[in-house]
Amino acid sequence: MPTEVEPAVLQRLLDLQSEDTAIKRLADRRESLPEARRLAEVNENLAELEADLQIANRQNADAGREQERLEGEIELLDQKVAREEQRMYSGNVANPKELSSLQAEVEALKRKKSSMEDELLDVMERKEQIGETVQTLSAEREEAARESAELTAKVEGLTGEIDSELKVHESERLGVASTIPDDLLALYDKLRETKNGVGAAALEDGTCQGCHTKLPAKEVERVKSEGGLQRCDNCRRILVVP
């Protein structure tokens, strides 16, 4: 790596650093948008609500079918009880034993009907509760979907603005980088990868702006008098003297 580097080239290196810093800032902002984080949370909640709503709808449909089955069976029992009572009171059955058997069957049918009516009442109550759950979940899902749509539009707008700025800085970076010698550019890029995105820093008031370390007066004097490519003794970034 040659140490003889023109001051103008070093200044362009600071310009390149400025573009890289702007690009990193924009990229970090794009990745950490509060709206994007909120959108992820809302979409996760929306997915859970949709899954819960599917389950509730299935339960509601099952309860509806169970209600229809019970109502149908109760109706058939009513018809059977009516037929058996008609036989019992028609006078056509004179045998006491047969009449007693018929009466026992009617009572058994009525007990079965009463039990099924209790079961039907439980099903109807459960169906009503499930219906309320479906309404609540539907309202929450609609609200979440609305917020998701609003946030999606907002995030798309913000990322679009950031991407536009990124394109400008990336274009500027290409232009500046093309004027810097390959070996110096390679050193700068290598340092930038290991130094939190900062490969070159200005020396201002005897302080390295990369690590913010105050250099000894003699070191500052040496750096200024020698010129060319200089490195910070503390952080090893490229030092650019104004």
pLDDT tens sequence across 81-95: 998 888 777 877 678
Mean pLDDT of 216-239: 92
Output the pLDDT for position 88.
77
**pTM of full prediction above 0.85:** no
Across residues 19-23, what is the average pLDDT?
97
Rounded mean pLDDT, 233-237: 94
Query: What per-residue confidence (pLDDT) applies to 95?
Result: 80
Q: CA torsion, points 161, 165, 167, 169, in degrees to nearest 10?
A: -170
Q: Does the pLDDT value for residue 1 go beyond 50?
A: no
Tell me the percentage of the chain whose pLDDT exceeds 70.
98
Alpha-carbon gap, residue 86 to 80, rounded angstroms: 10
- Beta strand 200-204 with 230-231 is unpaired
Q: What is the average pLDDT score of the chain?
A: 93
Res. 44: pLDDT tops 80: yes
